[in-house]
Amino acid sequence: MRYVVIILLGLMAQTAWALNVVATTASMGMLAREVGGDAARVTVLAPPDRDPHMLQAKPSMMRALRDADLVVAVGAELEMGWLPAASQGAANPRILPGRPGYFEAAAQVPLLEAGEKADRALGDVHPAGNPHVNMDPARMAGIARALAERMAKLEPDQAAGFRQRAERFAAAVAQRLPGWKARAAGAPGAVLFHKDGNYLLDLLGLPVLGYLEPVPGVPPSAGHLQGLAAKLKGRPGVILHHPYQPARGPERLGELLGWPVRQVDLEPAKEADAQAYFHLIDQWVAALAPGRP
Amino acid sequence: MFKHSPLAAALLAASLAFPMATPALANADLDALRAELREMKQSYEARLAEMEARLKAAELQTVRTERPAPAGSDRLGQVSSGTAFNPQISVILDGVYYGDNQSGAGPEKYEHIDGINHGHDHEGHGHGELERGFNLRATEIAFSASVDPYFDANLMMTVDSGGGVELEEAYFDTRSLPAGLKIRGGKFLSGIGYLNDQHPHTWDFVDQNLAYRTLLGEHGIMDTGLQFTWRPRTGSVYTLLGAELLQGNEQVFGTAGEEVPTDRADGSLVVTGNGDLAGEKAGPRLFTAFAKLAPDLGDDHAMQFGLWGARATQHQEVHDESDPDAPQTCAAGGECVHALQGKSWLWGADWVYKYDAPGAYGQGDLKLSAEYIRERKNLTLAFHEDPAEALGQARKFTQDGFYLAGLYGFAPNWQVGVRYDVTGLTNKLDGPAGRIWDKNDSDRWTLSLTHHFSEFSRLRLQASTADLWEDSLNGVKNRVNQVFLQYQHSLGAHGAHKF
């Protein structure tokens, strides 16, 4: 009987203490887990192998958002197609934009390509800036610190722990950064499928040589691939794409140019920790700089 | 780069000075030299400009990457391209090329589907009557914004090609109620069923299904009032419970404020004296309740079940058999007009299943949906031109319908859809002495092919073949084949991908 009481108390304590965090993508979930530690219970909405632009609001998302204390989103309109609809269906006032329960990673750091022309003739553009900040470990360190402050606001008793863990994550990034830069130095650059690896290439000082999508959100066409091949003929490079992006376009361009085609993940696994995230960056660096240790 | 600038200047000077220094040279040679110099100059200038641009880009890059990550700062809100105070605006353009095998009378045959609501369509034809050839369908214009920390507001109107404006929805939503509660007020599409609160631009087919069309009206239930919704905590299952108090204006199954006409449709005078319709009751006269349940099936699958009911506490209808469109006809100068009033019921069940495949641009995605609707009108005779007809006689109308639809993404940005819909499986009128009539059911098969150029534009080819009963009692049935080529463009704010 005594044990039952202890277990019950333990369960109650668990639900009372832990911050209920819903992260939109796996890398945001990783950050929330790293910073929140035991003081946060994290649910991830978007499967890592799906295009985060194209998801639909599902009832299970509304269910998760209904009881969330904090939503950790990538932001800059990446989740625009589904997060507002899911939040609407969740009827949870704590997590609406502008409230402390809504955290947007893109709002914490300067964005690439901010202020570009808002014209859909240029595709599914994000005039507020490129939202794929999760591909920049240095920016992610800054985001971790901001997230610690936010969690501290919501759970002041745990503030020291949040800040400490954010610093630990930032230190781990700082430790790996020179290694990544050294390995990538002098690499020829890459053709990306979509504008999602830009932050990492920017961090490593490598050029983005082109995109398989003629404009964001439109699948590659034969004419566009021919044009790319004509422009890039004779120089070295690699072609990168994600598992959820059709492989036909990248392979065709690879044949035309004689370049290696590599599949890389945009997101780590749903339950990823910092190690898994760093492994993802390792995977990109290795793909960008082939033939180096 | 500065190393090259004096060189360029020198070349420029030389090119200018050269002709004067060597007057003896032939003109042809001079021209050739000049051209060569000009070419050299241009190529140097181009290279200089390129190097300058590269330097600038490199400087910018350093600034960007070396900007320190903010330590301990935390910003509220979100990054968006929307303007802060102005509502988000979106516009949907919708056009159709239409053809049928009825010399253009297809849409009319759909108006005359045999059933309990025949000839009582009180709706304006907001979404337009189709002609063979090019049609511009109603353009949807939507505004939405947060009013303040407590309310969101939405407005949706349509403008048809003739310039007629219809306000479809204008409502507020609360945004700070606790415990999963929300209140919506204003004019809105009812939350019953799966398709009812969807606008035509989110439909998977060009036209409304037969069950909705005949039992709820082209728009579904759209009315003014209040909606209360609650999402209780039910473990891993998403539960939505809702109830609505609606005014009950101009619904197919809930119409009040009707009056016995003074003239018949053929122009002759109506003989009054035997009964009259009651006055309009105070609203709300239409009540709905709905429940939606969705178990968590993981990342790839999603399913939702719904059950709903609606009741109109006052329903009135006038039957004028001298109207050439009426189901029955009367002898000229006979007793053509009578009126009924009472209450009506609707209930329905809906089911949606979605499979989200890992493929990009919707490849491999599957969506299946089905809905069943049943309507019952419990009316009594309130007025009859024939003084011999006893008032208060019961007239019980019953009709039901359903649809089954499937949508599959067979290639990136390409979808194929199939739909089967029926109305009037039960289609009957009962009086005090038993069955007065039984009518037949009308059904249809639809096939659609949709190409999404991007998220914001699509082209859809749809073909359907329908067996529509116009007059079951006299054996009049129409086989209506229709073909549509539709485009839809969405401008402005990024729409949501609703479940």
Instruction: Give yes or no for a contact between A58 and A81, defined as CB atoms under 8 angstroms apart.
Output: no
* Distance in Å, alpha carbon of A5 to nearest chain B alpha carbon: 22
What confidence score (pLDDT) does residue B460 get?
A: 96
Alpha-helix residue ranges (DSSP H) falling in A128-247: 137-154, 159-184, 198-204, 222-232
Instruction: Give yes or no for a contact between B237 and B295, defined as CB atoms under 8 angstroms apart.
Output: yes
What confidence score (pLDDT) does residue B404 get?
A: 97
What residues in A contact B73, CB-CB < 8 Å? Answer: 108, 145-146, 149
In a domain, B158, yes or no: yes
Same domain, B311 and B453: yes
Q: Which pLDDT band holds residue B121 (cuts at 50, 70, 90)? A: very low
Q: Which of B64, B65, B79 to mutate to test the interface with A (most CBs of A within 10 A)?
A: B79
Give me the mean pLDDT over the B188-216 stretch: 92
Tell me the sheet residues that pair with B142: B90, B156
pLDDT at B14 exceeding the cut of 50: no
pTM listed for this prediction: 0.79
Chain A residues 250-289 with CB within 8 Å of chain B? none
Structural domain ending residue among the three candidates A176, A194, A211: A176
Instruction: Give yes or no for a contact between A70 and A150, defined as CB atoms under 8 angstroms apart.
Output: yes
What residues in A contact B413, CB-CB < 8 Å? Answer: 219
Instruction: Give yes or no for a contact between B298 and A55, defined as CB atoms under 8 angstroms apart.
Output: no
In a domain, A224, yes or no: yes
Same domain, A38 and A162: yes
Same domain, A32 and A169: yes
* Residues A50-70 pLDDT 10s: 888 888 889 999 999 999 999
pLDDT at A154 exceeding the cut of 50: yes
What confidence score (pLDDT) does residue B126 get?
A: 41
In a domain, A125, yes or no: yes
Structural domain ending residue among the three candidates A159, A176, A193: A176
- DSSP state at residue B362: G
* Distance in Å, alpha carbon of A123 to nearest chain B alpha carbon: 8
pLDDT at B172 exceeding the cut of 90: yes
Nearest CA in chain B to A55: B497
Same domain, A258 and A136: no
Strands (E), chain A: 19-23, 40-44, 70-73, 102-104, 190-192, 208-211, 238-241, 261-263
What confidence score (pLDDT) does residue A290 get?
A: 67
What residues in B contact A142, CB-CB < 8 Å? Answer: 69-71
* A141: contact with B, CB 8 A cutoff: yes
Dist CA B108 CA B12 (whole Å): 80
Same domain, B56 and B101: no
Inter-chain residue contact B73 with A139, CB threshold 8 Å: no
Mean residue pLDDT of chain B comes to 83
* B164: contact with A, CB 8 A cutoff: no
In a domain, A293, yes or no: no
In a domain, B363, yes or no: yes
Same domain, B281 and B391: yes
Inter-chain residue contact B237 with A63, CB threshold 8 Å: yes
Least confident segment among A87-96, B3-12, B331-340: B3-12
In a domain, B499, yes or no: no
Q: Tokens 């369509």 sit at which residue? A: B121
Least confident segment among A177-186, A197-206, B326-335: B326-335
Q: Which of A49, A58, A103, A271 to mutate to test the interface with B (most CBs of B within 10 A)?
A: A58
Q: Which pLDDT band holds residue B231 (cuts at 50, 70, 90)? A: very high
Dist CA B361 CA B415 (whole Å): 10
Least confident segment among B42-51, B163-172, B279-288: B42-51
CA distances from B264 to B19, B112, B365 (A): 102, 20, 55
Same domain, A206 and A170: no
Instruction: Give yes or no for a contact between B484 and B106, defined as CB atoms under 8 angstroms apart.
Output: no
Dist CA B153 CA B146 (whole Å): 6
* Sequential DSSP letters for A112-148: TTTT----GGG-S--TT----GGG-HHHHHHHHHHHH
What residues in B contact A88, CB-CB < 8 Å? Answer: 173, 496
From A77, A89, A145, residue closest to B72, measured CB to CB:
A145
In a domain, B292, yes or no: yes
In a domain, B288, yes or no: yes
What residues in A contact B454, CB-CB < 8 Å? Answer: 120, 123-124, 217-218
Same domain, A165 and A203: no
Q: Tokens 């003629």 sit at which residue? A: A214
Nearest CA in chain A to B81: A128
CA distances from A139 to A37, A134, B295 (A): 20, 8, 37
Dist CA B111 CA B470 (whole Å): 9
Same domain, B107 and B55: no
Q: Which pLDDT band holds residue B155 (cuts at 50, 70, 90)? A: very high
Q: Which pLDDT band holds residue B69 (cuts at 50, 70, 90)? A: very low
Tell which wins on pLDDT, B181 or B54: B181
Inter-chain residue contact B358 with A244, CB threshold 8 Å: yes
* Residues B384-403 pLDDT 10s: 888 777 788 889 999 999 99
Return the exposure string of B395-414: e unless at least 16 CB atoms fall within 10 Å of the residue's CB, then b. Answer: bbbbbbbbbbbbbbbeebbe
Instruction: Give yes or no for a contact between A123 and A215, defined as CB atoms under 8 angstroms apart.
Output: yes
Least confident segment among A32-36, B124-128, B213-217: B124-128
CA distances from B450 to B206, B359, B453 (A): 10, 17, 10
Dist CA A118 CA A130 (whole Å): 13
Same domain, B60 and B107: no
Same domain, B360 and B469: yes
Same domain, A151 and A130: yes
Residue B443: CATH number of its domain: 2.40.160.10
**Total Cβ atoms within 10 A of residue B256:** 24
CA distances from A193 to A33, A224, A225, B395 (A): 29, 12, 11, 66
What confidence score (pLDDT) does residue B3 get?
A: 44
Q: How far is CA A201 from the centre of its chain?
A: 15
Q: Domain range holding A60?
A: 2-176
Same domain, A284 and A241: yes
Same domain, A118 and A258: no
What confidence score (pLDDT) does residue B279 get?
A: 81
Dist CA B145 CA B89 (whole Å): 9
Going by C-alpha positions, the residue among B76, B237, B497, B301 that lies closest to residue A66 is: B237
Same domain, B197 and B53: no
Going by C-alpha positions, the residue among A126, A139, A118 that lies closest to residue A76 is: A126
Q: What percent of chain B has pLDDT over 70?
A: 84
Going by C-alpha positions, the residue among A293, A284, A6 that lies closest to residue A132 is: A284
Total tally of structural domains belonging to chain A: 2
Same domain, B241 and B116: yes
Instruction: Give yes or no for a contact between B325 and B262, defined as CB atoms under 8 angstroms apart.
Output: no
* Residues B316-357 pLDDT 10s: 888 888 777 666 777 766 778 888 899 999 999 999 999 988
Give me the mean pLDDT over the B207-231 stretch: 92
From A57, A77, A90, residue closest to B81, measured CB to CB:
A77
In a domain, B431, yes or no: yes
* Residue partners of A245: CB distance under 8 A and separation at least 6: A51, A193, A194, A212, B360
Q: Cis omega (within 30 of 0) on the bond before B284?
A: yes
Structural domain ending residue among the three candidates A126, A150, A176: A176
What confidence score (pLDDT) does residue B24 get?
A: 46
pLDDT at B486 exceeding the cut of 50: yes
Least confident segment among A122-126, A251-255, B358-362, B459-463: A122-126
Same domain, B250 and B315: yes
Tell which wins on pLDDT, B2 or B292: B292
Inter-chain residue contact B69 with A142, CB threshold 8 Å: yes
In a domain, B421, yes or no: yes
What confidence score (pLDDT) does residue B63 get?
A: 42
Same domain, A36 and A155: yes
Going by C-alpha positions, the residue among B499, B299, B81, B76 that lies closest to residue A26 is: B299
* B85: contact with A, CB 8 A cutoff: no
Same domain, A157 and A260: no
Total tally of structural domains belonging to chain B: 2
What confidence score (pLDDT) does residue B19 get?
A: 42
Same domain, B8 and B124: no
In a domain, A189, yes or no: yes
In a domain, B74, yes or no: no
In a domain, A250, yes or no: yes
* Distance in Å, alpha carbon of A114 to nearest chain B alpha carbon: 10
* B238: contact with A, CB 8 A cutoff: yes
Residue A114: CATH number of its domain: 3.40.50.1980
Same domain, A169 and A192: no
Give me the mean pLDDT over the A209-218 stretch: 85
Inter-chain residue contact B292 with A73, CB threshold 8 Å: no
Q: Which pLDDT band holds residue B64 (cuts at 50, 70, 90)? A: very low
Inter-chain residue contact B231 with A66, CB threshold 8 Å: yes
Q: What percent of chain A has pLDDT over 70?
A: 90
What confidence score (pLDDT) does residue B225 get?
A: 94
Q: Domain range holding B52?
A: 4-64
Chain B residues 131-150 with CB within 8 Å of chain A? 149
- DSSP state at residue B68: P
**Tokens for A146?**
């901001």
Torsion of CA A147, A148, A151, A156, to 10 degrees: -160
